[in-house]
Amino acid sequence: MQPIVRTDPSVIELDGGSASQRSSVSAARPYIMRLDSEHEPQLSALLCGLDKSSRINRFGHPASDIRVRGYAKGAVAGAAYMAGAFDAGLLIGVVEVFATCDGVAEVAFAIDAHWRRQGLGLALLEAATRWAEQAGVATLRMVISRSNWPMRQLAHKAGARLDFDLDEISADISVAAAVSLDIAA
């Protein structure tokens, strides 16, 4: 699933693959766009729809729906940048970027189970990388549990430098290197 940039640089259209590859029956192709406060209910629904192991990977513990809804509200308000992948108006994936310090921003992802392993994570990372380049952020950092193999693979594809610490992996992605590699290509 390769992103195709439309004339509006804030929207990326995705090749949805064949009907047999997708669990969605939508005729429209998925696309990525920046999220704002009006998308908070959709973000909450996406995060509450994560299965138990995905919630543990995303939040570090099996968070309740109440906590996840509270998190979604705070994330929309506090993220430096947030983009979502949509299919027929339904949010199917998200990347959240939170500024830290010294040119480093932390990124987190959530992808609907039916849309995993189809390139959405990489396309969302590309959107975050383009934002980071424009915002003067030098490094995107993913904090990944050791057992989260899809995120480890995403970090590897982006050329991240990995640091292992107890049960977590810190994956630092150089924005300049990711842009020059065109990570989604």
pLDDT given for residue 90 in this prediction: 93
Which residues, in sequence order, are CB contacts of 132 under 8 Å at separation 6+? 81, 97, 105, 138, 140, 175
Taking only the tens place, the pLDDT of each residue in 141-151 is: 999 988 888 88
Between the two ends of the chain, the Cα-to-Cα distance in Å is 10
Q: Would you say residue 122 has pLDDT above 80?
A: yes
Superfamily the domain 3-18+27-181 falls into? Gcn5-related N-acetyltransferase (GNAT) (3.40.630.30)
Write down the domain spans for the chain.
Answer: 3-18+27-181
pLDDT at 153 over 80: yes
Cα 119 from Cα 129, distance rounded (Å): 15
